[in-house]
Chain A
Amino acid sequence: MSLMAVKKQIASLDLLDLKKTNLIPDLAKSAEVKLNEIGFPNRKSEDWKYTKTAQLFKKPYKTGKENPNLKLDEFSFPKMKCPTLVIENGSINAHLSCVGDVQGLSINSFVDINKEQVEKIGNISNKKENPFSFLNASHLQSGIYIHLKKKNVLTQPLHLIFINTESQVFSNTRIYVHLEEFSEMNLIQSFVNNNDQDCVTNHVSEIELAENSQLSIEKIQNVLGESHICSEYIRQLNSSVFRINTLSSAGKLIRNGLNVFVEGENCTSYLNGLFIPSDDEHIDNHTHLEHIKPNCFSSECYKGIINDKATGIFNGKVVVHEDAQKIMAYQQNNNILLSNEAVVNAKPELEIYADDVKCSHGSTTGQLDEDALFYLQARGLSKSAALQLLMVGFVDEVLQGIQVEEVKNFYSNKIESLLSSN
């Protein structure tokens, strides 16, 4: 796929919001230059070997409008009454958003941020050359800057709901999250839709965690029929804790690129994920974690249940730099194939340049344990109940890591109903 062809299909996108500011265009311009330089992923790009993105650009896209009748009840977590921001078809929907006044927390559109904040944007994502992230910057539709002042600990999570309500929408959205020293918060990012429609969301998250700050992200991807390129770039400073649960239950083509740069000592990072593609869905999880400083801990656990003709991918890479002594880095990936035509590509990678570290990685792919199935049936579980219990048991390790109780319950139920329909 040539870059020209890609650009042609998204030429008519209206980058409305950001024209109002004279600061962002610099970001767009430099991203454009970079994009021209590296081009679009092709068959030879090792990083995109299992995910062919050319199919995304077979037709032209447009920018969607606000839908006055949009209801979000099924996507919100009413018991929590948490501040919620709605991004519809790539633009902030002010009517449905309700942020309120949370102490220490400021949430602004990129249109309204100061020069110092503007200059931060792109700094973390530029550490890796991902054409989709450059495309995101050059065609940015809306951006949200989330800033939590030091020593503030939020009791309620912040919920961002990304929803496409029209077909053929291509949205480029970005958030920048900055947690100051000793601050803590949970962030829920829900990518959802209510119709099976052919949209593309190209989303970038940049996250800056100052010393002793803690951030947990619950990332929900439930976008039947849509494609989703989602990239996170996280920079961790001393003693910060970062945790993300990537929960992908539906999507035509999903590519998660999670990049963590551990630049401080005594940091903790948990990268967990669950992917359950069915039909001909394709879910790709790429993680890249760099231990740059000593005395840190990281743990990765990704579980996949792949049905029908679907494809699941796990490619996890941990790089331990020469100075990163005494770190512990664990990586685990387990997959279950429910049909003969289901495909898994698993590639755990370790690159270690330090000599006093504890690292492990492993990946398994197989079918459901027939002996366990018979055991449960012999105790009086119907075959379908036994299968469901086994699959829920298989993903339990990931579900238990979800920090926000209501999300955990919601997702446990969701997984149960999803798995029982098999």
Chain B
Amino acid sequence: MKQARIAFEGRVQQAWEDHGKVRLADGRRLDEREVTWLPPVTPGAIFALGLNYADHAAEIAFKAPEEPMVFLKGANTLVGHRAFTPRPTDATNMHYECELAIVVGKPARNVAKADAYHYIAGYTVANDYAVRNYLEGFYRPNFRIKSRDNCTPIGPWLVDAADIPDPMNLRLTTRVNGETTQEGSTKDMLFDVPFLIEYFSAFMTLQPGDVILTGTPKGTVNVMPGDEVVTEIEGIGALHNTIIERKA
């Protein structure tokens, strides 16, 4: 089952995917352009992985890390499907990052890899934009590059974990204005989903609603105002976002 949070007729509603339509609780089926899409989860902590695909690590000139390179971001970053993301006027390289997002389903503490999937509610797609020229050396990547307002589109759907039997073999694709610019597979993650659940839960309790963005493969390129960026993960969804100029 694929569910969403939307705004429609003056209120926030839960909705479901139904043969390419958005079905409301009262049974009405709407076109996806008729509703306002919100992030499909109201998150607690938002974790993000850097350098979790060897090919992307090489692309931005880092050697692959020996343990997960993790950072956190605020809920200020999240916007839903078909929303807009501002590009600062002094950005020289602002790139998308197509990522599989894990949504935690129940409290997880000291969970072994073998049991990790029992703690996952579902999956969605995230686009973890970075303004690369804002990168600095303290608590890196610093907030100014990665925890920016409206710079982490997420959605459209939260897909039940049960519907994704093997999240470690999904195709990721990014298209900019219809042209494919990034392709990869979740099978190439350095630290896979069960490993990450074990890793985090070894030192903290993961809470229901926590979201883990699992990193991006090679193929991140600069985007400009007006560009439409679609990050898609096989079986999970296609997340649309449009770049706009950040007004002074």
> Do A and B actually bind?
no
Query: Which residues of A are in contact with B by a Cβ distance under 8 Å?
Result: none
Query: Which residues of B are in contact with A by a Cβ distance under 8 Å?
Result: none
